[in-house]
A and B are shown apart, each in its own frame.
Chain A
Amino acid sequence: MKQKNIDNIIALSNDLRWQIGDEFHDNLAEGIYADAAEIVKVSVHKPNGDNRLRLDAKIDKIITSKTWGFPLMFLILAVVLWLTIVGANYPSSMLAELLLNTIHPALKGYASALGLPWWLDGFLIDGVYMAVAWVIAVMLPPMAIFFPLFTLLEDFGYLPRVAFNLDHLFKLSGAHGKQALTMSMGFGCNAAGVVATRIIDSPRERLIAIITNNFSLCNGRWPTQILIATIFIGATVPASFAGIASLGAVIGVAILGICFMFLTSWALSKTVLKGEVSTFNLELPPYRPPRFWKTIYTSIIDRTLIVLWRAIVFAAPAGAVIWLISNIHIGDLSIAAWMIDSFDGFGFLFGLNGVILVAYIVAIPANEIVIPTILMLTVLVTGISGGAGAGVMFELDSANATGEILRAGGWTLLTAVNLMLFSLLHNPCSTTIYTIYKETKSVRWTVVASILPVIMGFVVTFLVAQVWRLFA
């Protein structure tokens, strides 16, 4: 009985729909707008005419102009990165001093006073503690600078304009215009970038944004790029240009990453993730003076600390593994040495070496510990003096000293260039992989997102190595 009445209602609605014709939607919308106009006429007064947005319009004309839009965007990106990199140096070295040079020896002291066996003290303090300490010292300061800067730009209203400027390129590559926002976020942290893709409605375009986020050079990888560029690229030019050359190389790698992002987005949208580009309305919000302290507070609570905590959770076991493989011996060599030996030939093909590959395998959890691990492993296998013992990650105060160790380990300019490329193009860190799984709920796409960049990394470094050797 009830069912019948509902059918009646639906039938009636169908009849009525025929009667009033298909302009219903438009008529309704028009009616609403007419009402709105009447109400506004009575209650809203603009004594000085409609001069609002005049300043906004002026700013927009420059920021979104064809001529100035892109240069301004790169300039702002460069300034943000520069502030992050330079500004992070001091707190980073202070944290390193505290965590690595003060607390670490103190802990070792307590451990020996307590009479802990060497393996327990090594495993816990040299392994787990050092990895966590490294991650905090290297990761916290740049994030605490980058995320607030990013949030200030967001609050000011700049980010939607970036999306507006890049929309055309994203459309060409078959991706969503809002990917510009998640991509920028990735420069801070890929895991945060992956979470940010929630703003993209279409599942197809969201997947593209997730898979390609890793091509944004995250702040765990900036230090690697900068250090290697300073040591090897800076050295190829006269000393007075060294700074500019190495900075140029780093920015170049970041832009290369953006190119790979577009290329991969395009390839995905033409193959496995075929589909139409969805249109979307992005209202350019008014420029607003950001609320400085509030913004800084929320961005540190919301983004920095959450991301840092996740990184620590993943880095701790990695530290344990690194210590174990350097201290467990099979025959007369440690596991690490065995691994490096067996990867050396493979690494040569790609202009890399066994140390780099092993470092990238064990340092999956956090990109921050790649360089300390590489140094430790290089010292381990070359037997040169330096470092703090097997399985203890370290970094040297001066780039020169680091360069000497690396050159003693057989590093050349090619190794450096390819390490920079491989640092850009390799699997996401395990924090990001885990985040991708949580966001996509799909093992398949998580695997694709993890494997695809490594494959590209191997292809690119292989080609570079072959061409290099042909001409060098």
Chain B
Amino acid sequence: MALGKDSDPDYFGSLRRLLILISAGLLLALFLVWRIDNARVEQFRVTLLDRVTPGFEWTLRPVAATARMIADLRAWRRVYQQNEELRREVQRMQGWREAALQLEQKNARLLALNNVRLNPRLTYVTAEVMADAGSPFRRSAMVNVGRADGVSDGSTVVDGLGLVGRIAGVGERSARVILLTDASSRVPGVVLPSGQRVMVSGDNSVAPPLDFVGQAEALRPGDRVVSTGDGGLYPPDILIGRVTLGADGRQRLRPAADYRRLDFVRVLRRAPPAVIDGPGEIIGPLAAQPDLPPAPPEAAQ
């Protein structure tokens, strides 16, 4: 402040240039750190988001809600037609609901008859989508549940109908969902009528391609794809989407989850199934022999 603003512009210019050089070096170093120790820096990012987003939540939600209302208002002219469509749809759904109830009862009777013991049911926590990724580098979203709600890394996220993605990065009260369409997302699935195993690998487009298809000709557009439990990350039998043919001629998947209206999602909390990774101790081969030799010396003395 002793120096006036215009008293020595050259001095300030070179000082500024030096500062910029130092900052540029530091930022480049930061990028390299991000590349080298990605997990830790990403955890830092989630921690920061966890701190920041809840504070902004009260502004994020009303704005998003208003934007959605405006988008809905555009459809007001078709309201009568939509009403009719919905009525018909409700009628159809009621028929299906009746069928589902009957099937459920039949299923329960059969299970009881056969003494089937099923895995414990999945429990879930419902979360609200708080924030978008904000840039095209990731397809992700922030939800308002976190470690405090029993959410952990890798938890599966679904909406009412289908798979949305998985949790990658958990804060105390928020978590980041990597969507199915993100380039780092790989979901093992099975195409239902044909039983073909496929890998749904995201590529940042709205319809992720299907990889590792055994017999591509066995897949038909419209076939349902559900998750297999392979790899242990996703629970089995969750609807992922339907097969469609992309504009590039590749077989792609149209997700069942409605990404345009992602307000509420369910985060599944799952106790991992018991893994049997070796023979039992009683009926296994005689593997416990090495324990025996130390005993005799004591007995000898």
| Binding partners A and B | no
Q: B residues touching A (Cβ–Cβ < 8 Å)?
A: none
Binding site for B on A (CB under 8 A): none
